[in-house]
Amino acid sequence: MGPLRRLAVFFYDFVVGDDPRIAVAVVVALGLTAVAAGAGVSAWWVMPLAVVAVLGFSIHRATEPARNRANTDRPQ
C-alpha cells in the first residue's frame, strides 16, 4: 500500500471510525434538515431524532447475540 493510500485509510479510520453507517446517517440527516429548512418547514427536530436512532441502531447491531456469538464483527 502506497503512502497516499495509507494516509487516506488513516484519515478514513480517524474520522469515520468503526461504523461507517453513522457517518452516512449523519450526512443524510443534515441533508434532510437542509431540504426541510429550505422549503420553509420547521426542521430542528430532524437531528435529535437522527442521533437517538443512529446511536441506538449502531449499539443494537454491535451487541446482537448472534454477532457476538460468532465474534465476527467485533471492532479491533
62 part of the interface to another protein, by CB under 8 A? yes
Among 4, 8, 38, 72, binds another protein (CB under 8 A): 38
Task: Answer yes or no: are the C-beta atoms of 46 and 36 closer than 8 Å.
Answer: yes
Among 2, 3, 72, 76, binds another protein (CB under 8 A): 76
- Collapse the DSSP code of 44 into the 3-class scheme (helix H, G, I; strand E, B; otherwise coil) and give the result: coil
3 part of the interface to another protein, by CB under 8 A? no
* CA–CA dist 36, 68 (Å, integer): 39
Q: How many residues does the chain have?
A: 76
* CA–CA dist 13, 17 (Å, integer): 5
Which chain residues interact with another protein by CB under 8 A?
Answer: 14-19, 22-23, 26-27, 30-31, 33-34, 36-38, 42-44, 46-48, 50-52, 54-56, 58-59, 62-63, 65, 68-69, 71, 74-76
